[in-house]
Amino acid sequence: SLSAVVVPDGVTSLGSYAFSGCSNLIAVFFSSNAPSADATVFLNDENVFVYCLPGTTGWSSLFAGVQTVQLPYIYTITNGTIAIRSYTGSGGVVAIPGMVGGLPVVSIGNGAFAFCGGLISITMPDSVTDLGIFAFYACSNLASATISTNVTIIGASAFDSCTSLTNVNIPNGVAIVSGSAFQNCASLTNIMIPASVINVGPDAFGYCGSLLTITVDPQNANYSSSDGILFNGDQTTLIQY
């Protein structure tokens, strides 16, 4: 029933037949340089792929006869889930995979895509539940962002200084839009606050010079809007003009 294996850091050699005959094995993850291995390591394992990280050495297109996969992410694996720590690609239109080697991608870590000037569009899979602080900070050409419907907290400064961002949807299910989350998004013109939001942090939409309208779902008990202006629920406190 073994389907995925995470090889610990520091392993420099794999013994002969180490994973041979593991018919359900689909992924073996390495986070350090390629260990020594012979052609028997994955003997009769017909469905397995080897995953290695950018910046590690000794890898080629095949490892012990098995195809290697190097994604443009540095990630960690904890309790069978994947957390992206940093992005190493060139940008463009990026769709983060929901699964890697049968393991779900659940977290985009603090500063994971920060300062990626080549990033134009980002789509998060619904497996992602954690969106860290500064996750997309200063991605100056990011125009469109699709946030996972299972994210509950948009981290502080997550999209701060994404000056080209024009299209972003805050999903119903987000409870907290942290401070400065969309600060300095100079091209953002409209924002919709869904019913689920219970807290909008300080300057969440601060210094967005093109922001014309903030609309709040009528079912939201904590916030309201009038003429595109954000208020608290009973409109006794003006939050964002």
* CB of 230 closer than 8 Å to CB of 223: yes
Upper half-sphere CA count for residue 133 (Cβ side, 13 Å): 5
Q: Is the dihedral of CA 92, 93, 95, 100 positive or negative?
A: negative
Residue 23, classified by CB atoms within 10 Å of its CB into exposed (0-12), middle (13-18) or buried (19+), is exposed
pLDDT in tens, 22-55: 999 999 999 999 999 999 999 999 999 999 999 9
Tell me the β-bridge partners of 74: 86
In this predicted structure, what is the pLDDT of residue 1?
Answer: 77
Rg of the chain (C-alpha set): 22
pLDDT in tens, 83-119: 999 999 999 999 999 999 999 999 999 999 999 999 9
pTM of the predicted protein model? 0.95
Distance CA 201, CA 183 (A): 11
Q: Tell me the two tokens of residue 41.
A: 């390591």
In this predicted structure, what is the pLDDT of residue 143?
Answer: 98
| Nearest alpha carbon to residue 200 among 228, 226, 220 | 220
pLDDT in tens, 120-162: 999 999 999 999 999 999 999 999 999 999 999 999 999 999 9
| Nearest alpha carbon to residue 233 among 206, 192, 198 | 198
Confidence of residue 231 (pLDDT cuts 50, 70, 90): very high
